[in-house]
Homo-oligomer: A and B are copies of this chain.
């Protein structure tokens, strides 16, 4: 049975084998299996975001099992609707599977979605399958705003506090450890942060309720995503050195960084895929847990145009700010 591949089953047989493993959501009115699912949208609006994962670019089969990939695909999507101030309700998943894909891997993938989404009441309410040369997982996620105004990237105002909920650099460290073949001991926590990120989902709606002026999910690294928020808001984000604002995060990275001969602060400033929440709040706001202040929003000026991110008052000396899919 373990050697059964998707080519051994008809499409209907394969679907029938994994659908019972998928989570059914609290908002699901008509589940997967018809031309479309029907999902409750009590707010009268819904948030929607989509993210695609490609084999060898976003995950490697040898780095974890299918459940790790399912968890991570779900996590990075859930995080996007939380970053609007919404609670996730439902997702759909399209899979492109090489004919050699094992059925067991597809079942594990389904279990990974269920492990993260099930307890949240989020359904996997539809999908599509195709053959292809490379594994592709395309997830679309939906959320309900529960009457909140959506929190955009563009609302940061000079004087606001910049804050972050979640970890910084842990997933990047975990990926570097995996890529170097390290496993075991203290490294496993960082590796788990990469394979099974725990986005700060509750922090999104909590930030919206607390009056956050801007928010986004940190998926491509703090500096890169902060500069996107700064550009969209027409401001400068002035961050304190992370050694001062989040010493615990750096401490957690320092041992692995020393062994990998790299810089813990570099991981924390540029490492992606932690899926924490970056938000700005009017000064004096009692920050909801687990937000921690990182710095201040400043007006752009002649020295620092809109979109700039400063660390300790100056542009950080980082040559690689995140990564890019297409640039040669």
Contact = CB atoms under 8 A, between A and B. Distances in A.
A26 to B, nearest CB: 14
Interface in A92-127: 92-97, 99, 125-127
Interface of A: 6-11, 14, 29-30, 34-54, 57-58, 79-81, 83-84, 86, 90, 92-97, 99, 125-134, 136, 138, 140-143, 145, 150, 152-154, 215-217, 324-328
Q: Oligomeric state, in number of copies?
A: 2
Contacts of A48: 36-39, 90, 92, 125-126, 140, 142
21 contacts: A6-B326, A7-B326, A10-B326, A11-B324, A11-B325, A29-B150, A35-B49, A35-B216, A36-B84, A36-B141, A38-B150, A39-B48, A46-B142, A48-B92, A52-B94, A54-B96, A96-B134, A97-B326, A131-B326, A132-B134, A136-B136
A34 B130 contact: no
Given A134-B132, A325-B11, A326-B7, A37 B54 contact: no
Contacts of A97: 326
A140 B140 contact: yes
Nearest to A40: B45
Which 9 A-B residue pairings sit nearest by Cβ, starting from the closest?
Answer: A138-B138, A41-B41, A36-B49, A140-B140, A52-B94, A35-B83, A36-B47, A50-B92, A94-B138
Contacts of A327: 7, 9-11
A250 B92 CA distance: 37
A136 B98 CA distance: 13
A54 B328 contact: no
Contacts of A39: 45-48
A92 to B, nearest CB: 4
A97 B326 CA distance: 9
Contacts of A154: 34
A16 to B, nearest CB: 12
A42 B141 CA distance: 19
A57 B140 contact: no
A132 B57 contact: yes
Contacts of A140: 48, 50, 92, 94, 140
Given A94-B52, A131-B325, A132-B54, A84 B38 contact: yes
A30 B150 contact: yes
Contacts of A44: 40-42, 44
A145 B30 CA distance: 13
Contacts of A99: 326, 328
